[in-house]
Structure 1
Amino acid sequence: PYAMELMKSKGLVVWLKVEFDTFIERCGKDPSRPLLKRSREELLKLFEERSQRYAQAHLTLDASLKPEEIVEEILKVCKKG
């Protein structure tokens, strides 16, 4: 909780939300991420716990959007101030 509050006090925090299976597809085979060597059940639990923290971001966007759409949404929020 402290880290999120610190980030939020410094600027806009954006969470690019992704489904668990998509996350595993993208990151699960990366040998530089030893945390991902846990069982699927352990990873799901950790994913859900972290998702609750990340949901406190100023802005949550669907990571399946096109990069241009993500940028557009972030810019809208930045322009509002």
Structure 2
Amino acid sequence: MDRYAPLRNRTIALVGLMGVGKSSVGRRLANALDLPFRDADTEVEAAAGRSIKDIFADMGEAAFREGERRVIARLLDEPPHVLATGGGAFMNAETRELLKRKALVVWLKADLDILARRVGRKDTRPLLKDADPMAVLKAQAEARYPTYAEAHVTVQTGDTPHHVAVGQVIDGLTRYLEEAGS
């Protein structure tokens, strides 16, 4: 029997702070499970015909979040896949309820020192524009962790190779489904 078969019945959605590896781990997870991979940020950009940076600059975060909510709702109506969400997507109550109902939600969690080092390497994150990455991450952790804790599974990752995180996600989801009797 294919031990991964139960993991292919529903979309697997990854949530967590920026820099935790939702996209990079998600791609590898999708490959391991032989599922399509979708990145909500990429899908929002395609739907809007512009970059997230430009959406934030021209229309603001609220407009971005509304577009993100619509895109994720559409993606959740598609056949099972691995979905990397934006860091703030799970904070929207409507999006969160949809994700929890239609997907297996995994919170990827890592130490803030690791995340600050990762996100400090790029200037493509609108929420970090002219800001101290560690200060932004601390504020986001304080605001978001209680909500992220509503995910079905939490996986504490570290500075390990992505395949280790993929194994942790698969193990966590397998345990969750066994305990849920799915």
The TM tier, using the shorter chain, reads: 0.7 to 0.9
How well do the aligned residues superpose, as a CA RMSD in angstroms? 2.0
Decide which of 8, 33, 36 is 2:125's aligned counterpart: 33
Percent of aligned pairs with the same amino acid: 32
What is the TM-score when the length of structure 1 is the normalising length? 0.77
Q: Which residue of 2 aligns with 1:51?
A: 145
Structure 1 runs (4+) deviating above 4 angstroms are: none
Structure 1 residues 5, 34: CA separation in 2 closer, same or farther (over 3 Å shift)? same
Larger Rg: 2
| Aligned mates of 1:60, 1:5 — CA distance in 2 | 17
Point out which structure has higher relative CO (alpha carbons under 8 A, 6+ apart): 1
* Alignment deviations for residues 43-71 of structure 1 (CA, whole Å, 9 cap, x no partner): 31123212221111011111126232332
Q: How many pairs align?
A: 81
Deviation at 1:76, TM superposition (A): 3.0
Range that drifts further, 62-71 or 16-25: 62-71
* Alignment deviations for residues 10-45 of structure 1 (CA, whole Å, 9 cap, x no partner): 111000111111111122222111212323434311
What is the TM-score when the length of structure 2 is the normalising length? 0.39
